[in-house]
Amino acid sequence: MQTAGNVHSSDDWVRDSKGTAYGFDAFLERITAFHGYPAPGLVIGAKMVDLALHAMPSGCLFDAIAETGHCLPDAIQMLTPCTAGNGWLKVMDLGRFALALYDKYNGDGVRVFIHTHKVAAWKEIDSWFFKRKPKAEQDSDALLREIQRAGEKILQMETIRVQPRLMVKDSVGTRGICPQCGESYPLKHGSACRACQGSSPYATA
């Protein structure tokens, strides 16, 4: 991972953890390919990841936290090796548009969020962020261009230390066969799998 000493060219919107730079429009295309459409939250989220990456010590092995399931997990997955599937990204439903990167051994890191006071100076971003007008009335092009002009001016960064309980690897433990569905599940979940205990997302046929 490259962090310290990277100087942004004025055309770059973000750099990933390997140091590859993307211009604003090029990154919009990558977002569309990955996320389905050029979501403003992902454009800003990428800038948030970029800021956090540059603040982390060079060579640090880090994990990530997204404080919302909207957009930010994708920004982290597009720019770092942390994914929901490899366990290096934790997605938490705190409802805050914020993310953190932290040293996976000592928990020290940085948190980046949209600052509500700073965003007030940017009409389109403010209106989008606080959902002040219906999506249909939003001028998405004006919003994206304003995001590009604002860059990190709407963001705030702070140092954090992650709680030790979150840094313990969550082991699956011994597995058994659920007496109801017959599928394999971690025995620590109880006498039946969680789906059969009532947490199944599916309506019964």
In the complex, what is the shortest distance from the CB of residue 180 to Zn ion, in angstroms, rounded to a whole number?
5
What H or E segment, with its residue span, contains residue 128?
Answer: helix 123-129
Give the one residue of 20, 180, 191, 200 binding Zn ion; rule: CB under 5 A: 180
Query: Contact region for Zn ion (CB under 5 A) — 24-32, 34-42, 97-105, 190-198?
Result: 190-198
Query: Contact region for Zn ion (CB under 5 A) — 5-13, 104-112, 145-153, 196-204?
Result: 196-204
In this structure, the number of other CB atoms found within 10 A of the CB of residue 91 comes to 17
Query: Contact region for Zn ion (CB under 5 A) — 3-11, 100-108, 118-126, 193-201?
Result: 193-201
Pair of tokens at residue 74: 């994708």
Rule CB under 5 A: is residue 189 a binding residue for Zn ion? no
CB under 8 Å to 116, separation ≥6 — which residues?
none
Q: Is the CB of 39 or the CB of 196 nearer to Zn ion?
A: 196
Contact 68, 96 (CB under 8 A): yes
Closest CA to 2 of 13, 14, 16: 16
Contact 46, 34 (CB under 8 A): no
Contact 62, 103 (CB under 8 A): yes
Rule CB under 5 A: is residue 193 a binding residue for Zn ion? yes
Q: Is the CB of 69 or the CB of 176 nearer to Zn ion?
A: 176
Give the one residue of 72, 162, 178, 189 binding Zn ion; rule: CB under 5 A: 178
Query: Contact region for Zn ion (CB under 5 A) — 17-25, 32-40, 163-171, 189-197?
Result: 189-197
Q: Which phi and psi (to 5°) does residue 144 adopt?
A: -65, -40
As a whole number of angstroms, the distance between CA 158 and CA 133 comes to: 30
Q: Is the CB of 90 or the CB of 189 nearer to Zn ion?
A: 189
Q: Which phi and psi (to 5°) does residue 155 adopt?
A: -105, 155
In the complex, what is the shortest distance from the CB of residue 91 to Zn ion, in angstroms, rounded to a whole number?
25
Q: Is the CB of 121 or the CB of 177 nearer to Zn ion?
A: 177
Q: Which residues bind Zn ion (CB under 5 A)?
A: 178, 180-181, 193, 196
